[in-house]
Structure 1
Amino acid sequence: MAPEKLVFIDESGLWVGMSRPLARATKGKKVYELWKSYRGQKMTIIGAIKLSGVVATQTL
């Protein structure tokens, strides 16, 4: 099959309110997470990719 005819579909998911896994603090101090790790709406992103570039994307 010719590479120009191939289409790859990729899916990725995320939470809108994701917090950062790392934080900074002054030397000798601890960082406390005050919020839940996953809050907000969950989103799924689906994309179709060809050799020439991105064909289509959709967010669910």
Structure 2
Amino acid sequence: MGEVVREIENILQLAGLNPNAESVSTSASYEDATKERLHPYSQEAFEYSGAFPASKMEPQ
């Protein structure tokens, strides 16, 4: 089990993350950054979603 933890820590270090940092602070800074950029109900919120646009429904 300890070997698995060491390997995960190595991967995190290679990715540029500090394995000893609190995850709360990382999440909080990410949420603050995205909260300022995208409002949840604006059209821009879906600009980079990667999903196909909704198809237009035609009445029959």
TM range (shorter): under 0.3
Identify which of structures 1 and 2 has the higher relative contact order when contacts are C-alpha pairs closer than 8 Å and 6+ apart.
1
After TM superposition, the score normalised by the length of structure 1 is 0.20
After TM superposition, the score normalised by the length of structure 2 is 0.20
